[in-house]
Structure 1
Amino acid sequence: MEYISTRGNVKGIGFIDTVLMGLADDGGLLVPAEIPAVDAETLEEWRSLSFQELFLKIFSLYTNGEIPEEDLKELVNRSYASFRDPQVAPLRRIDDSLYVLELFHGPTFAFKDVALQFIGELYSYISRTRGEIIHILGATSGDTGAAAIAGVRGKEGIKICILHPNGKVSKVQELQMTTVDDANVLNLSVQGNFDDCQRIIKELFGDLEFKAKYHLRAINSINFVRILAQTVYYFHAFLQLPEEAKGRTVNISVPSGNFGNIFSGYLAKKMGLPIGKLIIATNENNILERFVKTGEYKPGEFAQTHSPSMDIQVASNFERYLYYLLNEDGAAVAERMKELQTEGRIAAEGEELRRVQADFAALGVTNGDCLETIAKYSREKGYLLDPHTACGVAAYEAHNGAGEIGITFATAHPAKFDEAISLLDIRQEFPAPISALSELPQVQTIVDNDKAEVTARLIEFFG
């Protein structure tokens, strides 16, 4: 297994070098040169596996044997030892047609823990075994930053800097990042939105001299390992369905802002996971819904919503899907991305649009509909949804067909977004680790939306 860039000018990269490169040196994103196939017989053999065992099976298809099996097993076991549920990501039955995959049982109560606990262990392993300096740089719309910091804090040989948009994440998300006072952690609070943070990050990774000099490594989903780790729980969710679900079409609804989580499902489906619709749930920042419905991919006006982790207009993983939509033609991808940069939009028309609509369904959920869905499921099902998961459930309701099964990903614990839930006069019990955050002092540096200022802070921190 080798890895190549979506833009065609980086080829023949191994697994560990893919981890370290993050953003490809030609500005594209790294993908496997070939996607391994999983047949029905293999899938059935995997049905009895634990999450950790399934993780090993899937990763072994992609790692080229670069990590000895026993080492990889130890990394995986350490990664999920701190999860509060022994299944890591349990599947909850809500009614005859709806299941919720709870992805919030990790240290920071968000789905990002599933990938980032492993990546933290993997970076530590690479630093130790290859003598690599690991300086992690990432942007977050809320959950990635906390999960990334939790994955690497205190680890020898690693420093991490996270940019988050000042005042545009939930209070719990902010506290989970900024109450960490470890010497290897720097929080930069940017006077802008997430897209501003992400743009600065991509520009810094695109400066190959700066990237090499300061040993920059990616923790965002531009790193393919994030995508692959998330692919595992698509298989895990499908394989947990009860016997009576066999023979029914299974659709998966995914809250998605940066296109990483839903692309993981696209990868799982291309590997052979027999699922029906991949449903993209967005909020009022609905660029992905507009693309699926009209073929136009054009960033619009930024809206602040009750689901801040999806308050994104430029979805960095969209380029990976574009690569497959354009029949794995790197030159065509580079041309489209150049068009996006110069003209502010790209479009899929005709056969391309028909393929997009065969691959995905989508729904942009308003703030009002999000709150209404939370209230409805609390009242009628006795199940409390966080605002992102509520968008996923609303999209499931819009697109799941009669007789079909829907799985919605619960991407965060509702306690992380009490600002929205309290508007409904719903009182929830906070988990102890979240309650304790408000008693801790915060450590963060507020910076302007300015690449030069961020760069200066990084040089001082990374040395």
Structure 2
Amino acid sequence: MNFVSTRGNVSKIGFIDTVLMGLANDGGLLIPEKVPQIPAERLQAMSELSYQELAYEIFSYYVDGEIPDNELKELIEKSYATFRHPEVTPVQKVKDNLYLLELFHGPTFAFKDIALQFLGNLYSYVSKKTGETIHILGATSGDTGASAIEGVRGKEGIRICILHPHGKVSKVQELQMTTIHDPNVLNLAIKGTFDDGQRIIKELFADVEFKNKYHLRAINSINFVRILAQTVYYFYAYFQVAKETNTKTVNFSVPTGNFGDIFAGYLAKKMGLPVGKLIVATNENNILEDFIKDGVYKPGEFKSTYSPSMDIQVASNFERYLYYLLGENSEAVTDLMNQFKSEGKIVVNEEQLLQVKKDFAAHGVLGEECLQTIKKYYSETTYLLDPHTACGVAAYEECNEANDFCITLATAHPAKFNESIERCDINQTYPIEISQLFDKPQYLEVVEADNDEIVRKLEKLFSFSTR
């Protein structure tokens, strides 16, 4: 298995090198040179596997022997041993043709744990094999930071710095990141938005000399392993619903801001999973909805919402989809991304827009609609949705055909977003792991969203050996 850049100037690198490179050195994103095709008879056999067995099966197509089988199995077992549910990502029927895929049973109660528990263990594995200290740099709109820190904290040979937008994440999200007082963890709260943090991350990774000097590694979904790990639960959820209903295809409604979670579903479909429509659920920061409906990708005004993890205007994984939409033409991708940088927007032609509409539907959920969805489902089914999952359910109601089965991704536990739940006049009980956070001191530095200031903090963190 070889991996290439969406922009064409990195090619034929292996799985481990792809993990370590993160953002491609030419500024693009890494994707498999050829997407593995899983035949229908193989899918039938895979439907009987446990979550861990399924993860091994799917990862093996991409790892392609670079990690010995027994060691890959150990990495997977170790990564998902931290989850509170034996199925890792159980599927719950809520009503009629709606199922929820619960992705919040990991250590930080968010879907990011599924990829980041594995990626943290993988980085530790590589560090031990190579003797190289790994420095992880990431930005978060809330959940990635806590999951990434939990995935690597205390691990020998690894240091991590996470940027989050000061005052623009939920209190629980902030506490999960900033109550960690490990010497290998640095939390920087930037005066700005997630998009500012994501821009800084991409610019620092694009500085190849700086990146190589400090062995800088990516934890955000620019790293292909994040996408790969998330494809597994699309397969797992499809198999559970297909067995129960005898349906041939299933739609997925996916709350997404950075286009990573929905792209994982798109990749699963390209691998052969019988996915019907992929429904993109956004909030008022609805650049993705506008693109899917009109073919224009143009950031608007940033808005703080009840679903802060989706408060994103520039979706970093959009370029991966663009690569396939443009017929895997890296020159065309490069031209459009350069145009986006200079003009601030991307416009696709009518034929391409027709393909977009075949691949996706979309609905941008306004604040009151989000809260009303939480209230409605709690009243009618007693199921308490977090605000991001509520956006996914609202998009299901708007976009799903009446006779189609749909799985909505439940991306976080509602306890992480009590500010929104309280607005619905609902009192919830915190899991003990979350309630204990409020008694702990916090450790963070508030900084300007400035590359030079961030670099100074990083150089101080990285100047101490972790070995």
For the aligned pair, the TM-score class normalised by the smaller chain equals over 0.9
SS in 2 for 1:61: helix
**Contact 1:253 / 1:396 at 8 angstroms: preserved in 2?**
yes
**Contact 2:248 / 2:274 at 8 angstroms: preserved in 1?**
no
Q: Distance in 2 between matches of 1:3 and 1:248?
A: 31
Aligned-partner residue type, residue 450 of structure 1: D
Please state how far the C-alpha of 1:244 moved relative to its aligned partner.
Answer: 4.5
Q: Distance in 2 between matches of 1:248 and 1:25?
A: 41
Q: Work out whether 1:267 is the aligned partner of 2:267.
A: yes
Q: Distance in 1 between matches of 2:363 and 2:208?
A: 38
TM-score, normalization by structure 2: 0.98
Partner of 1:439: 439
- Deviation by residue 1:21-56 (Cα, 9 ceiling, x = unmatched): 000000000000000001111111011111000000
Partner of 1:6: 6
Partner of 2:339: 339
Partner of 1:309: 309
Aligned-partner residue type, residue 174 of structure 1: E
Q: Work out whether 1:26 is the aligned partner of 2:6.
A: no
- Deviation by residue 1:239-276 (Cα, 9 ceiling, x = unmatched): 11153522354110000000000000000000000010
Partner of 1:359: 359
Gapped runs of 5+ residues in structure 2?
none
SS in 1 for 2:63: coil
Q: Distance in 1 between matches of 2:245 and 2:337?
A: 41
SS in 1 for 2:363: strand
Aligned-partner residue type, residue 446 of structure 2: I
Q: Distance in 2 between matches of 1:17 and 1:368?
A: 45
Q: Distance in 1 between matches of 2:179 and 2:163?
A: 15
Q: Distance in 2 between matches of 1:408 and 1:132?
A: 40
- Deviation by residue 1:425-454 (Cα, 9 ceiling, x = unmatched): 100110000000000000001001111111
- Deviation by residue 1:295-348 (Cα, 9 ceiling, x = unmatched): 000000000000000000000000000000000011110000000000000111
Q: Distance in 1 between matches of 2:423 and 2:2?
A: 50
Q: Distance in 2 between matches of 1:126 and 1:378?
A: 45
Give me the identity figure in percent: 65
Partner of 2:49: 49
Deviates more, 1:175-184 or 1:346-355: 346-355
Q: Work out whether 1:174 is the aligned partner of 2:174.
A: yes
Q: Map 1:400-439 to 2 at 5 A.
A: 400-439=400-439
Deviates more, 1:397-406 or 1:194-203: 397-406
Aligned-partner residue type, residue 365 of structure 1: V
Deviates more, 1:125-134 or 1:240-249: 240-249
Aligned-partner residue type, residue 112 of structure 1: K
Question: What is the number of equivalent residue pairs in this alignment?
Answer: 463
Aligned-partner residue type, residue 65 of structure 2: G
Please state how far the C-alpha of 1:135 moved relative to its aligned partner.
Answer: 0.2
Aligned-partner residue type, residue 252 of structure 2: I
Q: Distance in 2 between matches of 1:246 and 1:383?
A: 25
Q: Distance in 2 between matches of 1:270 and 1:8?
A: 21
**Contact 2:242 / 2:248 at 8 angstroms: preserved in 1?**
no
Q: Could you say what the CA RMSD is over the residues aligned between the two structures, in angstroms?
A: 0.7
Aligned-partner residue type, residue 260 of structure 1: G
Please state how far the C-alpha of 1:162 moved relative to its aligned partner.
Answer: 0.2
Deviates more, 1:242-251 or 1:167-176: 242-251
Partner of 2:238: 238
Moved over 4 A (4+): none
Q: Distance in 2 between matches of 1:402 and 1:82?
A: 38
- Deviation by residue 1:47-105 (Cα, 9 ceiling, x = unmatched): 11110000000000001200000000000000011100000000001112000000000
Q: Distance in 2 between matches of 1:169 and 1:359?
A: 31
- Deviation by residue 1:345-398 (Cα, 9 ceiling, x = unmatched): 011121000000000000000000000000000000110000000000000011
Q: Distance in 2 between matches of 1:462 and 1:222?
A: 22
**Contact 1:248 / 1:404 at 8 angstroms: preserved in 2?**
no
Aligned-partner residue type, residue 420 of structure 1: S
Partner of 1:101: 101
SS in 2 for 1:177: helix
Q: Distance in 1 between matches of 2:248 and 2:400?
A: 12
**Contact 1:248 / 1:405 at 8 angstroms: preserved in 2?**
no
Q: Map 1:150-169 to 2 at 5 A.
A: 150-169=150-169
Q: Distance in 1 between matches of 2:5 and 2:14?
A: 12
Q: Distance in 1 between matches of 2:242 and 2:336?
A: 43
SS in 2 for 1:187: strand
Q: Distance in 1 between matches of 2:44 and 2:248?
A: 16
Gapped runs of 5+ residues in structure 1?
none
Partner of 2:328: 328
SS in 1 for 2:172: helix
Q: Distance in 1 between matches of 2:165 and 2:101?
A: 28
SS in 2 for 1:48: coil
**Contact 1:31 / 1:224 at 8 angstroms: preserved in 2?**
yes
Q: Distance in 2 between matches of 1:43 and 1:5?
A: 29
Q: Distance in 2 between matches of 1:425 and 1:248?
A: 40
- Deviation by residue 1:161-199 (Cα, 9 ceiling, x = unmatched): 000000000000000000000000000000000000000
Aligned-partner residue type, residue 433 of structure 1: E
Q: Distance in 1 between matches of 2:449 and 2:182?
A: 25
Q: Distance in 2 between matches of 1:339 and 1:132?
A: 38
Q: Map 1:16-415 to 2 at 5 A.
A: 16-241=16-241, 243-247=243-247, 249-415=249-415
Q: Distance in 1 between matches of 2:262 and 2:132?
A: 31
TM-score, normalization by structure 1: 0.99
Partner of 1:457: 457
Q: Distance in 2 between matches of 1:250 and 1:216?
A: 39
Aligned-partner residue type, residue 356 of structure 1: V
